[in-house]
Every structure is written in C-alpha cells, then in structure tokens.
Amino acid sequence: MISLIVHGGAWNIPDDTLEAHRTGVAQALQIGWEVLRTGGTSVDAVEQSLRCLEDDGTFDAGCGSHFNAQGVVELDASIMDGKTFRCGAVGAVRRVKNPITLARKIMEDSEHILLVGEGAELFASRNGVPTCDPSALRSPREVKRWESIRATEGFTTKMAFGDHASDTVGVVALDERGNLCAGTSTGGTLNKHPGRIGDSPLIGCGTYCDNAVGGVSTTGWGEGMIKVVMAKTVVDYMDQNGGDAQDAAERGVAHLKRKVDGLGGVIALNVLGTFGVAFNTPRMARAYMSSAMHDPFVAV
C-alpha cells in the first residue's frame, strides 16, 4: 500500500484562485506520487511535494509567502519521520527558498530539531542548502496584499482565515515499506510580528508522525493550533479510535473550535493508508491518492 495526501491551506479561498489552488495541489500530489510509485521513501515524497508547493507561487509558502509587519518574508517548516521519530524544523528564515529542504537537512545531519533565523541560515550555508537574497521571496501579489491589509483598520492575523489569505502547505506520505512521514511549510500569518513563529515548525502542533498510528499536517490560525497541540492531538485521537483518520480529523477540528475558538484544517493519514480531512474555514485545498484508488481526489 502506498498513500499520499497534500493540503494547500484553509480559508475563504476566492473563486478566481480556485483553479490555481486545484492545479497546485494536484501537481504536488503527482510529484510525490511518482516518488512513492517508483519505490521512493515517504521522506523523499514529502520533501519533493512540498518543494513543488513552495515553488508554485500560489501558496503562502516559499516564494508566494505573506509579508510580516515589516514587509519581510519569514519562513517556517517542519518534517517528521514516523519510523525513527527524527524531526527537523526551521523558523523565521529569510534567505532560504525551500525551507522544507533545510528542515530535512537538520533532521538528518544535526543533533538538533529546531533552528531559527540567522542560525538556521548559517546551518544552510554550511550544509549545502541553497540560500537566496530575501528579495527573491517577495512576490508582487504579496506586496499588494500587504499594502491593502495595512490599510484595513483593526486587522488581526486571525482574520486572515476568513476573507484574507492563509495558504500554508502540508503533506503526509506512506511508502511501500510501511513508513510514514509528515511535513508542513509556511510563510506564516499575514502581517505577523517579526520573529513570530506559528504552529507549522513546532513538532506536535503543525506536524506529527508515528509509524504505529499515522501522520498529520495542520493549517490555520497558528496561535490556536499551538494551544491545543493540534497535530499530536489528532494522532492521539487516531490511536484511541482504532485508526479512523477521518473521525480523528473531525474530532481534532471540533476540539480546536471548542477549546480555543480556533480556525483551520488538518490532513491525516493512518498506517493503513486511509485518509482524513477536516476544516472549519469556508474552504480548504487538498488532494490525495492511494494504491487503492484509480484516480486522484482533488478539491478546494
């Protein structure tokens, strides 16, 4: 059994960008699927799918990321290997186009889990992960978006999950050896304070993975996700309910709402390759495929 699930954010995705979201998650799914289909590992599938989403420009990740309150892009990402429990994560990096690759490098080639800011960038340059000028991460669309929300009186980062934007990306994969991996990548919330880190790079909040149970990636208002340790909570629900990924995802989102009035969505994949998706925002971009299906499922 091989299985792959991808998300591209949960918010009120506007009609005129539905096609770009659909195409983006479908393409990332196809890239990861090719890795799994040809016998590759779940870690490779997660990294390759996420790199595709980071490079797409449609999503709040890599080169399409939102600006912080200083008009600068700061990226967060994490990855977790369900077989070994090894994980890697980066926070608030300004000079790395593909933070998921840096997160993987930290997972595989360091004794640490989470590196932030300049220290993470130093690790990148010392370990062969390409760095870039911060201006390479500034998309013209995001310049306009940032200027328009700065003119919105009373704007808070949580409001983005309604009618503004939140396009964090995430992937969970199961390879033919039965190994699971989960990863998440984001530019974080629109107009966030410089140095703010959300749920996405925090293991247990934005990403969690355990070969014995399943893997999860989240998207949504990070401050709420952190308070309920969202990704681990959904994995725990899966552990308790006999591995029902859909039930666990729904319970997770209900818990998020009930406990902290949170907004967002999750993708979940269990060790048997069955999916779960739940969200309480108007829309969520997602796609999945398994060797038990004829065609991929893609929806926004």
Catalytic site positions: 168
> Which residue in the set 183, 222, 252, 273 belongs to the binding site for ligand ASP (CB under 6 A)?
222
By CB under 6 A, tell whether 166 contacts ligand ASP: yes
By CB under 6 A, tell whether 9 contacts ligand ASP: yes
- DSSP string covering 89-112: EEEEESS-S-HHHHHHHHHHH-S-
Tell me how far apart the terminal alpha carbons of the chain are, to the nearest angstrom: 26
By CB under 6 A, tell whether 60 contacts ligand ASP: yes
The least CB distance from residue 40 to ligand ASP, in Å, is 27
> What tokens appear for 174 in the block?
């199961």
What angle in degrees, to the nearest 10, is found between the helix axes of 245-260 and 230-240?
Answer: 130
Q: Which phi and psi (to 5°) does residue 159 adopt? A: -60, -20
By CB under 6 A, tell whether 188 contacts ligand ASP: yes
By CB under 6 A, tell whether 40 contacts ligand ASP: no
By CB under 6 A, tell whether 185 contacts ligand ASP: no
In contact, 290 and 36? CB cutoff 8 Å:
no
> Which residue in the set 65, 78, 101, 186 belongs to the binding site for ligand ASP (CB under 6 A)?
186
Q: What whole-number distance in Å separates Cα of residue 168 and Cα of residue 225?
A: 13
Q: What whole-number distance in Å separates Cα of residue 77 and Cα of residue 140?
A: 23
Q: Give me the numbers of helices (H) and strands (E) for the chain, helices first please.
A: 8, 12
Looking up tokens 């902290």, which residue turns up?
Answer: 260
Q: What whole-number distance in Å separates Cα of residue 281 and Cα of residue 175?
A: 30
> Which residue in the set 3, 200, 233, 274 belongs to the binding site for ligand ASP (CB under 6 A)?
200
By CB under 6 A, tell whether 219 contacts ligand ASP: yes
- What are the E-state strand segments in 191-282? 207-210, 214-220, 264-270, 275-279
Q: Three-state DSSP class for 249?
A: helix
By CB under 6 A, tell whether 199 contacts ligand ASP: yes
Q: Which DSSP category does 143 fall into? A: H
The least CB distance from residue 276 to ligand ASP, in Å, is 17
Q: What whole-number distance in Å separates Cα of residue 241 and Cα of residue 110?
A: 35
By CB under 6 A, tell whether 78 contacts ligand ASP: no
> Which residue in the set 8, 24, 198, 262 belongs to the binding site for ligand ASP (CB under 6 A)?
198
In contact, 63 and 168? CB cutoff 8 Å:
no
For ligand ASP, the closer CB: 214 or 222: 222
The least CB distance from residue 156 to ligand ASP, in Å, is 12
By CB under 6 A, tell whether 64 contacts ligand ASP: no
Q: Which stretch binds ligand ASP (CB under 6 A): 44-52, 173-181, 196-204, 231-239?
A: 196-204
The least CB distance from residue 66 to ligand ASP, in Å, is 8
By CB under 6 A, tell whether 56 contacts ligand ASP: no
The least CB distance from residue 39 to ligand ASP, in Å, is 32
The least CB distance from residue 110 to ligand ASP, in Å, is 23
Q: Which residues bind ligand ASP (CB under 6 A)?
A: 9, 60, 166, 168, 186, 188-189, 198-200, 219-220, 222, 225
